[in-house]
Structure 1
Amino acid sequence: MQELNQTQIAERLDQLTELSVQLGSNHDTDSLLERILIVAKSMTNADGGTLYRPSEDKQFLNFHILINDTLKTHQGGSSGQPVTAGSVPLYDGSGEKNLSAVAAYAAHFGLSVNIEDVYKADVFNFSGMVKFDQMRNYHSKSFLTVPMSDHEGELVGVLQLINAKDSETGEIRAFTQTDQRFIEALAAQAAVALTHQRLIAQLEELLESLVNLINIGIDEKSPYTGRHCQFVPELTMMLAEAVHNTESGPLADFHMNDADRKELWLAGLLHDCGKITTPVHVVDKATKLETIFDRIGMIDTRFEVLLRDAEIAALKHQRAPGADVAAIDAELAAQQAALRADRDFIRFANVGGEGMKPEDQERVREIGKRRWVGPDGVERDFFDDNELMNLTIKFGTLTEGERKEINNHIVMTIKMLEALPWPKHLKNVPEYAGGHHERMDGKGYPRGLTKEQMSVQARVMAIADIFEALTAKDRPYKKGKMLSESLRILGNFSLNGHIDPDLFDIFIRNRIYLEFAHKNMDAKQIDDIDESRIPGYTP
């Protein structure tokens, strides 16, 4: 039997060392497994090799990669060819361990099996191999089967080599004990690397699940915000890819790899995670008087009280001797018409808009000076201070205090994300997610950053956040804007220092807006766009 000299042993040790380095740096499982098999073949000068992986249900060993030099066969791995061989069952029909197949035996007992000549071995069932030899005019002889198990003893694969060759004569020889020990060392290294990759994958899956858990919580709290948390990362990635593909202009040097993409995607998913701390009656405030419920119903009741009191007073006057019934009826009709007009106006004022006129705010104050008697018999102003403050809100439905509560979500987002021990490849998630309310001119919040102080990714997310908010059709406090109006607003933002004009140019030039609109906007919102009329954009 061929023995290894010192030079050959040194060469094998070099191969193990080189493989160890590759195992630590290679993050592609398939290429890693193929490299393991190729090194094992080379180390033992084997004619062929197979790498099995256990099925998810642990019932079978599946052929993952199969290589045979004599037969010029390479299936699985980088070959692009599917593995045609069937799986090896780990259990028989009655649920007992399959010990007749050598690969299954090695898998069950965690032991290497070294067979000098399979045609002389009577312990295992090699009928399938015999048929294979007959069909391919091949002769299988020596086998070395080595299980790969992780630190907990769980099977991660089985490495099987066939027909070791004498390096000088080319004759088929048995695998030596030295061969076996080297392959066992290689298999142990490979198992550690595979386990390491699996643990990393599981941790990343856990992280993504936790992110989804946060978004489920936000979604359950506010379905409007939940939709936003889905669409902003989608639009962010669309624009970021367009910037990545840009070959000219000030952003031509921006590029992303797969790790960068994952980091930005996670940041997009988490960009509003702080809203989980914002009271739902603020997040979903559809009207100015809404808290836990819309208090407009209470205002309507007060108008009904005034209408009733006016009618009662008129009836009393009509009963007086010599009363002018017709004049009293006319005065009552005018008084009630005025009350109904004021009621309709207050209902209208309760709906937030782009800007409440000063005269409308003053009319609310005048109506608030009316007096009415409540159920307790006490006369009071028609509106209390809180109702008056809400009904005179100039923009939208939020008071200044509520707007601060909403704005505080980004502070909480940053606080929550910076509290996490992000790994190196995800260290920028807090910065990307926490910058989408900053402005290029430094007038944004919470940190008042300027364009130069922000990453491209954070600036991209700012555009995605605004555009999605403008076009969203499911917000309780507004209708989704038409596409043309949304682009006009966004274009003005690019001119006034709100968003990055260079990114806005890519957003329009690559028609990211149109791709997103056709996918996620209501068809009724998508009108014709004349790009030459978009502010801040030159076709």
Structure 2
Amino acid sequence: MQSENLLHRLEELNAIGVALSSERDIDRLLETILVAAKRITNADAGTLYLYEPENKQLKFSIMRTDSLGTAQGGTSGNPITPYPIQLIDKDGKPNHSMVVAHVVLEDVTVNIPDAYTAEGFDFSGTKSFDKKNGYRSTSFLAVPMKNHERQIIGVLQLINAQDRESGVIVSFSEDDQHLLESLASQAAIALTNRRLIQQLEDLFESLINLINTAIDDKSPYTGGHCERVPALTMMLAEAANHSRLGVLKDFNLTDKDRYELKIAGLLHDCGKITTPVHVVDKSTKLQTIFDRIHMIDTRFEVLKRDAEIEMLRGGRTQADYQALIGQLGDEREFLRLCNVGSEKMRDADIARVHQIAKRQWRNAEGKLADFLSEEEIENLTIRSGTLNAAEREIINRHINVTIKMLEALPWPNHLKRVPEYAGGHHERMDGKGYPKGLTRDQMSVQARVMGIADIFEALTAKDRPYKEGKTLTESLTILGKFKENGHIDPDLFDVFIREKVYLDYARQFLRPEQIDEVDESRIPGYTP
């Protein structure tokens, strides 16, 4: 009977090892270790300590006492109250009076049948606890947790082994000790591996943030974009995850899915590291290294000077001169407005630019030339924004570079879809996006989520060179029109409005003056 029980406990130990190796969350892992240790030894209480070598102390991590119904640390939601146990006392001597400290200092297992009769250890704190809580701490078993390098990373301490039939408090047996030592070894390796993975993930995210910092720092106008888009992406993804309407009712995110999408969001614009600063920073249509509108200002001054000389020589009347000066002033202000690019240009305005371009002026070489060059005409007649076709192609190329960079990385299985998510945020539902011209059915929900996040962040961004950040109503109106013309996912847009994702985002990232009262019933394309 005893051999059957031991065999069952060995099988349970093996199952525990499998469970430990699959747990990703460190707090849950620690809790699983302690609960498993109590179960295979049938102990009433237990504590798991983590060793902090830099402070020479053992920190309480998880505490459980079944008969008292108390739990601290882990998933209990209750904070750990005891202070850490110091391995060196106030006099600078090793603290062998505390059982768990002695376990670390001597690298030994301590098995005590009865704390009240044991010698060599200080159990005054234990007895005080017992008196206060009506408890009787009797048997103790403390085992060091050693990793694959035989370094102690913690201590498992169990209290009050119970007879499996009668429930009477008994001593921890040799089998209990061997089983706990085996579990402690497995647990230490599992915890070390999880910590190593966590450190690698932290390092990976730090490297991503390093790239994003470099991208954002290239230009004061895009600073924060690489931070805000991932944040909004996760907000909308969570809202979609909670949605139980329409096609999104079956969309579910696991912790693994969330991490994968988070990484994709952080890397969605990594290709911009190759985008020239003068294109990213182009705040006016004529800007290159400097705003060339001032060169055109100079040409107007030359025309005014020539007109004045002509008048003084008798070749032009005073009235004609004044009329020309007024006309040149109007044309100068008109070109200055065209240069800003804040509003979409009308056909009549484009025609007027071409008309002004035909004026003749005498250049620095003394030769007559057209007032505007072909390149200046091209830029001043940009219909929307400040980028010409070639510059927009340079900007758009960042997504190709992003995909190329991400697809070149050896992604582990749980991050395999990062390139697809990050590379799809400029695609459209109607297939008119770039770089691949994907349609809605060819895209994952995550990629569609990122597309909306990228657009809304751009609309509300308060630091772009060519515009002020729009209000919520203005931004949602434009986004609604994007839904109507097949640009963005209609169901995700409805979730974005219905769950007020836009408002949660605004409260974190927008200026107060941008957060106006939104009348959702007037947002184009919104279906409540």
Judged with a 3 Å threshold, the aligned counterparts in structure 2 of structure 1 residues 342 and 53 are, in CA distance, closer, same or farther, namely same
Is 1:273 matched up with 2:273?
Answer: no
Answer with 246-255 or 333-342: which moved more: 333-342
Tell me the SS of whatever aligns to 1:224.
coil
Tell me the SS of whatever aligns to 2:467.
coil
Shift of 1:345: 1.8
Answer with 190-199 or 256-265: which moved more: 256-265
Task: Find the counterpart in structure 2 of residue 433 from structure 1.
Answer: 422
Task: Find the counterpart in structure 1 of residue 253 from structure 2.
Answer: 256
Tell me the SS of whatever aligns to 1:342.
helix
Letter in 2 for 1:193: A
Partners in 2 of 1:121 and 1:527 — Cα distance? Answer: 71
Partners in 2 of 1:112 and 1:177 — Cα distance? Answer: 11
Shift of 1:484: 3.4
Task: Find the counterpart in structure 2 of residue 160 from structure 1.
Answer: 157
Task: Find the counterpart in structure 2 of residue 320 from structure 1.
Answer: none
Task: Find the counterpart in structure 2 of residue 15 from structure 1.
Answer: 12
Judged with a 3 Å threshold, the aligned counterparts in structure 2 of structure 1 residues 516 and 120 are, in CA distance, closer, same or farther, namely closer
Deviations 1:61-118 (A, max 9, x none): 1223334456665444455554444321122235444333221122234332334555
Of 388, 402, 414, the residue aligned with 1:399 is 388
CA contact (8 A) 1:110 1:149 kept: no
The number of equivalent residue pairs is 528
Letter in 1 for 2:468: K
Partners in 2 of 1:47 and 1:412 — Cα distance? Answer: 59
Of 277, 296, 300, the residue aligned with 2:297 is 300
Partners in 2 of 1:538 and 1:73 — Cα distance? Answer: 50
Answer with 394-403 or 21-30: which moved more: 21-30
Answer with 504-513 or 166-175: which moved more: 166-175
Tell me the SS of whatever aligns to 1:251.
helix
Is 1:203 matched up with 2:200?
Answer: yes
Partners in 2 of 1:490 and 1:71 — Cα distance? Answer: 57
- What does residue range 185-334 of structure 1 map to in structure 2 within 5 Å? 185-315=182-312, 317=313, 328-334=317-323
Answer with 133-142 or 441-450: which moved more: 133-142
TM-score, normalised via structure 1 length: 0.88
Letter in 2 for 1:493: F
TM-score, normalised via structure 2 length: 0.89
Partners in 1 of 2:472 and 2:220 — Cα distance? Answer: 22
CA contact (8 A) 1:215 1:226 kept: no
Of 432, 436, 451, the residue aligned with 1:447 is 436
Task: Find the counterpart in structure 2 of residue 421 from structure 1.
Answer: 410
CA contact (8 A) 2:47 2:60 kept: yes
Of 335, 340, 346, the residue aligned with 1:357 is 346
Judged with a 3 Å threshold, the aligned counterparts in structure 2 of structure 1 residues 80 and 302 are, in CA distance, closer, same or farther, namely closer
Partners in 2 of 1:314 and 1:135 — Cα distance? Answer: 107
Shift of 1:408: 0.8
Partners in 1 of 2:38 and 2:153 — Cα distance? Answer: 19
- What does residue range 439-518 of structure 1 map to in structure 2 within 5 Å? 439-518=428-507
Partners in 2 of 1:224 and 1:426 — Cα distance? Answer: 31
Partners in 2 of 1:13 and 1:226 — Cα distance? Answer: 57
Is 1:24 matched up with 2:21?
Answer: yes
Partners in 2 of 1:170 and 1:345 — Cα distance? Answer: 93
Letter in 2 for 1:249: G
Shift of 1:7: 2.4
CA contact (8 A) 2:477 2:523 kept: yes
Partners in 2 of 1:212 and 1:36 — Cα distance? Answer: 34
Shift of 1:367: 2.7
Tell me the SS of whatever aligns to 2:223.
helix
Deviations 1:20-65 (A, max 9, x none): 1211223343343333333333434445432212358533212233
Task: Find the counterpart in structure 1 of residue 335 from structure 2.
Answer: 346
Answer with 514-523 or 456-465: which moved more: 514-523
Deviations 1:488-519 (A, max 9, x none): 33222222222222222333333333443454
Judged with a 3 Å threshold, the aligned counterparts in structure 2 of structure 1 residues 507 and 79 are, in CA distance, closer, same or farther, namely closer
Task: Find the counterpart in structure 2 of residue 62 from structure 1.
Answer: 59
Answer with 91-100 or 494-503: which moved more: 91-100
Judged with a 3 Å threshold, the aligned counterparts in structure 2 of structure 1 residues 140 and 437 are, in CA distance, closer, same or farther, namely closer
Tell me the SS of whatever aligns to 2:145.
strand
Shift of 1:368: 2.7
Letter in 2 for 1:238: M
Shift of 1:141: 4.9
Tell me the SS of whatever aligns to 1:65.
strand
Task: Find the counterpart in structure 1 of residue 525 from structure 2.
Answer: 536
Of 36, 47, 52, the residue aligned with 2:49 is 52
Partners in 2 of 1:238 and 1:179 — Cα distance? Answer: 48
Shift of 1:400: 0.6
Supply the RMSD in Å over aligned alpha carbons: 2.9
Judged with a 3 Å threshold, the aligned counterparts in structure 2 of structure 1 residues 143 and 528 are, in CA distance, closer, same or farther, namely closer
Partners in 1 of 2:431 and 2:386 — Cα distance? Answer: 26
Query: Any stretches of 5+ residues in structure 2 without a counterpart?
Result: none
Answer with 456-465 or 68-77: which moved more: 68-77
Tell me the SS of whatever aligns to 2:249.
coil
Which structure: larger Rg? 1
Partners in 2 of 1:334 and 1:144 — Cα distance? Answer: 102
Deviations 1:349-379 (A, max 9, x none): 2111443233322332333333434445455
Answer with 478-487 or 219-228: which moved more: 478-487
Partners in 1 of 2:322 and 2:55 — Cα distance? Answer: 84
